Amino acid sequence: MKISIGPIQYFWKRDWVFAFYESLQDSPADTIYLGETVCSKRRELDLGDWLDIAGSLRKAGKEVILSSLSLIESESELSSLQRITSNADYAVEANDMAAIQLLSGRKKFVIGPHINIYNQHSLRLLSLVGASRWVVPMEIGQHILGDILQQRPQEMQVEVFAFGRLPLAFSARCFSARAHNRGKDECGFICGEHTDGILLNTQDNQPFLQINGIQIQSAATCNLIGHYEELVSRGIDILRLSPQFEGMPEIIRILRQVADGLLDIPTAMQQLLPFQTHGSCDGYWNGVPGMHQSSAATG
């Protein structure tokens, strides 16, 4: 089983981003996804910076994939997308159908988790135009996934979001700006002051969601490591870990040891507890509401 590190979903300072990816050079992660997927206003790094980071990671032996925006709203965003998809050196994770249109028939690409693929027919269609890897949408459970994988296209790799706050929705509005009584155009990049987003509680003061710019995430951390044997038996090729500000080196180490058979799952689940600030969830995998957690999610 390979391990991937998904794109950073938060707006971190430039120096923090470079330091984060430098720390991954010697990590046991196999694949690194790079790029801004949430908000095009976040311009701490430009494409040249991402390509510099990509070059360093490739020299360290990592597979590098450039990720595209999940919501295209303007001509400038489309122009930026065209520059990403036309790069000659790295594969692209398409998170919007515009990216798929630009990539179709030109180069191999990854179907990102925000593309609505829910059956084998859609998956086969995209494989015919160049898709070589599918990152499964978070809401697809193991039983539906099992049916799809029985007829998956030959050589199609399958990647599952296995650890991190679930990216649930995107909006043209900015939730972080609204939480601070600001308009989207006058946001002042307030999301950059919250390294892992802003917690939104229920009226009963229970953690519910995480606000991250125009994105809404789960407050609980999706953790499918308790289902590792099921993931293997389903034929999953890659486990995706989503970056968070604290603990990533340790999280990667734990997952790598599980995949290599060096750490039993109950022990791994206990070791992961400190990195799940608002609890864990695995509901979608079990075909129930995503925020639910089974005994496998708690260890």
Q: Which tens digit of pLDDT belongs to each residue from 224-248?
A: 999 999 999 999 999 999 999 999 9
Q: Give me the amino acid identity at 226.
A: G
Average pLDDT of the residues in 43-60: 97
**What would the mean pLDDT of 258-281 be, rounded to a whole number?**
96
- pLDDT tens digit string along 148-168? 999 999 899 999 999 999 999
On the question of pLDDT at 299 being above 70, the answer is: no
* Percent of the chain at pLDDT exceeding 70: 99
SS (H, E, C) 38-75: CCCCCCCCCHHHHHHHHHHHHHCCCEEEEECCCCCCCH
Strands 238-241 and 109-111, by their bridges, are unpaired
What is the predicted pLDDT for the residue at 185? 82
Torsion sign (Cα): 76, 218, 95, 172:
negative
Higher pLDDT, 296 or 169: 169
* Tens-digit pLDDT profile for residues 23-48: 999 999 999 999 999 999 998 999 99
136: nearest Cα among 166, 154, 165, 116: 116
Residue 297: its pLDDT value, please? 63
User: What confidence score (pLDDT) does residue 71 get?
Assistant: 93
pLDDT of res. 184:
86
* 114-147 tens-digit pLDDT: 999 999 999 999 999 999 999 999 999 999 999 9
Any idea which of 33-37, 61-65, 108-112, 182-186 has the lowest mean pLDDT?
A: 182-186
Encoded tokens for 274: 């400190």
CA nearest to 176, candidates 74, 33, 41: 41
Task: Evaluate if residue 296 carries a pLDDT over 90.
Answer: no
Q: What pLDDT, on the 0 to 100 scale, is given for residue 20?
A: 98
Which structural domains are found in the chain, ordered by start?
Answer: 2-165+222-286 (3.20.20.70)
- Encoding tokens for residue 99? 């990216």
What pLDDT does residue 294 have?
84
At residue 183, the pLDDT reads: 87
Q: What pLDDT score was predicted for residue 295?
A: 75
pLDDT confidence of residue 57: 98
Kindly state the tokens that stand for 34.
Answer: 């790079």
